[in-house]
Amino acid sequence: MTKTNVMRLLTAAGKAYTTKEYSYDESDLSAPVDWESFGLPSEQVFKTLVMQGASGAHTVCCVPSPFELDLKKAAKASGEKNISLVPVSDILPLTGYIRRGCSPIGMKKKYPTFIDETALLFDTIAINAGERGILIILNPEDLAGFIDAEFADLT
């Protein structure tokens, strides 16, 4: 496994984490991953979504993979009148990451970030390691502290 920028940043900061590799279908990135087959409950694996509010400001939301982001709750958390997902074509220029490889750690720019409060139900959660096929597993409060994120009801 190659060491990603996310791993380098966490290591440099002395943050405890483990990694897990998974397979995915490059031809169908919309297909859900069977996290249970990798030994992880799907509610413990968080996806990273990049949003844009009515003001034009960008926000990052991390939600459990089997759930949909509630746009009204995300707008409320971010202080926006309304909010929507950025187009897939904007993810790389905004974050430095590709679709299904986006991590809340190490983006090109620091955006306000919100993690669904269900993360606090677990000792560890999994997030993308900044590359398709690799997860970072770490304590949700360590993650929030490292990226200055807030916990909020997002689903």
* CATH code of residue 95: 3.90.960.10
Within a domain: 33? no
Q: Which amino acid is at 118?
A: T
Write the burial class of residue 45 (CB in 10 Å: 0-12 exposed, 13-18 middle, 19+ buried). buried
Query: 99 or 51, which is more confident?
Result: 51
Within a domain: 131? yes
Task: Output the six-digit token pair for 59.
Answer: 């926000």
pLDDT digits (tens, 9 = 90+) for 37-46: 677 888 999 9
- The pLDDT value recorded for residue 21 is 87
**CA 57 to CA 11: how far, in whole Å?**
30
Within a domain: 32? no
- The pLDDT value recorded for residue 31 is 47
Residues near 135 by beta carbon (within 8 Å), at least 6 away in sequence = 19, 20, 21, 22, 40, 45, 126, 127, 128, 129
Domain that holds residue 15: 5-23+39-152
pTM to 2 decimal places: 0.92
Within a domain: 122? yes
Number of domains in the chain: 1
Within a domain: 31? no
**CA end-to-end distance (rounded Å), the chain:** 33
> Is residue 69 within 8 Å of residue 87, measured between CB atoms?
no
Within a domain: 34? no
- The pLDDT value recorded for residue 138 is 97
pLDDT classification of 22: cutoffs 50, 70, 90:
confident
Within a domain: 53? yes
Within a domain: 78? yes
3-class SS shares of the chain: helix, strand, coil, % to 5: 30, 25, 45
